């Protein structure tokens, strides 16, 4: 059979090693596919229907909520309302987790997500993504979240959806990274690349360089170093689209590094912007599964244990060589 005939569900059912039972993985990914199709369809017409712009509300992080953020969150809530075996959701757009006690029988899971990643792009027809992860819940957890405040190494599944010229689902369930493209005429995600490997170094970096004045001096030195143009290894180009998953997607396929350094605060410490549980930890799992690396600048992102669901950290993620260099240069305070 040519790869054109392999749908996401079929691929899961024939995959040998996964972190959770195949049936559970298939049920959860079927819901993620449904979310991807709904959001993808909506994005093509959202501006015509007046669904872009702000709601007038601010979220738990003090950011202005875009109409599409709120709508994207509702798409997840609806998809998982009857989403057995998923019984909890943690979202960038909700202060507290949402629980579906009816789905908490036997093995159960929590899906953590950022429904619309890169929301500053919603009003300009720019790149957007969705980031997700799945964690197993402990038996008897009730509505508590203690069992979920674990390091990213405990993620069973992680991935993202990139809405570009093609809508793609990129995910890992612990045995490599696979990419599926939506064929809108069939309404199916079809295997595009299997067991993707990230090149060990690249020639492109992504960052919001306008923030450079707020960074630790060593983070500034890092960017100076990779752009000093002394040789091939110090001659990087900048590409930044303002959507984490979409910038990362380039580096997964072609190598390079995405950095969002922390802002220096009192005592010389640095404070990051990106959220650990539903932004950086999921992409860190994808990066590592593809042979790349993901760091807070001080250590492996996947080993950071959150104190709260909306915790933030600096991030350096992509090809192993570039991320290792950032750690060696002690880029964070």
Judge contact between 223 and 237, C-beta under 8 A. Answer: no
Binder of ligand F6P out of 274, 281, 287, 323 (CB under 6 A): 274
| Of 100 and 240, CB closest to ligand F6P | 240
Interface mask (CB under 6 A) for ligand F6P, residues 11-50, using x and -? Answer: ----------------------------------------
Binder of ligand F6P out of 117, 188, 322, 332 (CB under 6 A): 117
Interface mask (CB under 6 A) for ligand F6P, residues 225-244, using x and -? Answer: -----------------xxx
Judge contact between 313 and 296, C-beta under 8 A. Answer: yes
Nearest distance from residue 195's CB to ligand F6P, in Å? 26
Pairing of strands 257-260, 270-271: unpaired
Question: Residue 66: CB partners within 8 Å, gap ≥ 6?
Answer: 52, 53, 54, 55, 116, 119, 122, 123
Question: Residue 270: CB partners within 8 Å, gap ≥ 6?
Answer: 215, 216, 261, 262, 263, 264, 297, 314, 332, 333
Q: Does 120 bind ligand F6P (CB under 6 A)?
A: yes
Closest CA to 89 of 64, 118, 114: 114
Binder of ligand F6P out of 58, 64, 208, 234 (CB under 6 A): 208
Burial of 48 (0-12, 13-18, 19+ CB in 10 A): exposed
Nearest distance from residue 51's CB to ligand F6P, in Å? 18
Taking the C-alpha atoms of residue 109 and residue 280, their distance in angstroms, rounded to an integer, is 19
Nearest distance from residue 208's CB to ligand F6P, in Å? 3
Binder of ligand F6P out of 72, 83, 115, 118 (CB under 6 A): 118
| Of 144 and 242, CB closest to ligand F6P | 242
**Interface contacts to ligand F6P, rule CB under 6 A:** 117-118, 120, 208, 242-244, 274
């Amino acid at each position: 059979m040519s790869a054109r005939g392999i749908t996401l569900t079929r691929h899961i059912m024939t995959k040998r090693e996964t972190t959770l039972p195949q049936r559970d993985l298939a049920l959860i990914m079927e819901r993620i596919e449904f979310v991807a199709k709904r959001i993808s369809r909506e994005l093509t017409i959202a501006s015509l229907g007046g669904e872009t712009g702000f709601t007038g509300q601010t979220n738990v992080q003090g950011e202005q909520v875009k109409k599409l953020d709120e709508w994207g969150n509702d798409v997840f809530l609806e998809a998982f309302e009857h989403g057995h075996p998923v019984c909890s959701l943690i979202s960038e757009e909700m202060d507290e987790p949402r629980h579906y006690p009816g789905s908490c029988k036997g093995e159960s899971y929590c899906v953590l997500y950022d429904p619309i990643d890169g929301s500053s792009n919603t009003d300009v027809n720019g790149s957007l993504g969705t980031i997700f992860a799945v964690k197993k819940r402990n038996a008897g957890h009730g509505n508590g979240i203690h069992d979920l405040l674990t390091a990213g190494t405990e993620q069973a599944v992680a991935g993202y959806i990139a809405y570009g010229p093609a809508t793609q689902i990129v995910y890992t369930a612990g045995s490599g990274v696979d990419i599926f493209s939506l064929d809108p005429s069939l309404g199916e995600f079809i295997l595009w690349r299997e067991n993707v490997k990230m090149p060990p170094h690249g020639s492109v970096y992504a960052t919001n360089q306008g923030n450079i004045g707020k960074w630790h001096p060593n983070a500034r030195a890092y960017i100076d170093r990779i752009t000093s143009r002394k040789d091939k290894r110090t001659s990087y180009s900048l590409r930044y689209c303002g959507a984490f998953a979409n910038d990362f997607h380039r580096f997964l396929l072609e190598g390079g590094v995405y950095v969002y350094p922390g802002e220096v605060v009192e005592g010389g410490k640095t404070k990051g912007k990106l959220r650990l549980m539903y932004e950086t930890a999921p992409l860190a799992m994808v990066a590592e599964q593809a042979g790349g690396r993901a760091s807070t600048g001080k250590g492996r992102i996947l080993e950071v244990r959150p104190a709260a669901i909306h915790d933030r950290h600096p991030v350096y993620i992509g090809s192993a060589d570039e991320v290792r260099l950032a750690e060696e240069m002690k880029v964070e305070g």
